[in-house]
Structure 1
Amino acid sequence: MARLYAAAEKVLGPLKESRPFWDVMAHELMPRDDQQLQQLMTNPRADQQVQELRWELVCYLAGDLSGGADSSAADNLLSATVTPEPGNKIFEAAQVYRRRAGVGKALSGLPDDAAVNQVLRNEALKEALRTDYNASDLGARFNRSNNWGRKVLEDVRGQLSSDLEAAVGSLRQILAGAEASTDLRNTYEAEIAKWSDLKG
């Protein structure tokens, strides 16, 4: 059983903060043998079925059930909480969103909205590091605003800049330790200057 949960943790990434999601994913992985589980742990995105389930869990958390989650089940679960004003479509849409977000939080077992938002933010950070997004598209993917997407991308840029600075520092240490020739050092410094321009 431990091997299933280890693989589930790897596949879930930030979603592993939810114990129920962990249980669901471990159950999904149950038919797989040790070799398949090992492959999943080295390349979690290789299994389409697993990724579809994973994205369904993200959608539940985001209150967006258009991404594969069963919206009718969610609507039925909390239908008693909706008291829409006749003809007020905006109010009704807000109530539906709150209900679906409530279902996601309940299914996840996460303690509060802040925990849900942190898991979604961490997931968006990972997604933005893998794929090129603009703020609007990233926000929409997670059923959030353009401003939310912009803040996530700012964090991504900060992380990439920090990683780049660390890599440059390591490279300079290696060059100094290897007593590299002046020409070689100048070549790398020219490349570093280009990287710094990209960062800015």
Structure 2
Amino acid sequence: MQLLSLFTSMALVSSVISTAIHDLNTMVARGGDRGTEIIHGLGAHKQAILHAGGNTRDMAIAMLETTNMTTDYKYGDGKSGDGTNFGVFKQNWFILRHSASDFLGKTVGQVDEGVILNSDLKKDIKARHEGEKHYGYETWFSGHRNGETGVNIPGTADIKAYMDGVAWIQHQLESDKKFQSDDTRFWVDVVAI
């Protein structure tokens, strides 16, 4: 019986040690809610992001948002108005029209102008970078995740779980240069909103 208990403890310690996360004390997402899979052609999408001026954080966000890092999801991600999503990062119209130079001053009624991000990766990356620069890291993520409410009430548990998921994926991508060009997808389960 003690031997069985010892093996169980060793297995638990082994799984905790092998879980690559950046801060064990603050990460919300844990071992069973993340993993890897091979998606044929994903390496080309990773490289496209890098060649268009993106970085590993951009790759991680796109990887968390869609399985294949593309914009082949339903128009606006099935959302409307300021909640309408565009591009590989699924940036919402509220964030775009308040922080991205290509959309500053636009109204909710001009939402269809955001569709350019579905076909112009450089503009998509530029808009994401401008948004993060405008709002700062946590507030950008909060607004990206939950629109105007997220900007006004940043850092909720849901937002932190999303940020932790992105951080974990980014850490994996940076753990070996090959992950920035191969077909490995890192995933984390986060609640879809």
Of structures 1 and 2, the one scoring higher in RCO (CA 8 A, sep 6+) is 2
Fold shared, TM-score > 0.5 on shorter chain: no
Which has the larger Rg? 1
Structure with the larger strand share = 2
TM-score (norm 1): 0.27
TM-score (norm 2): 0.27
Structure with the larger helix share = 1
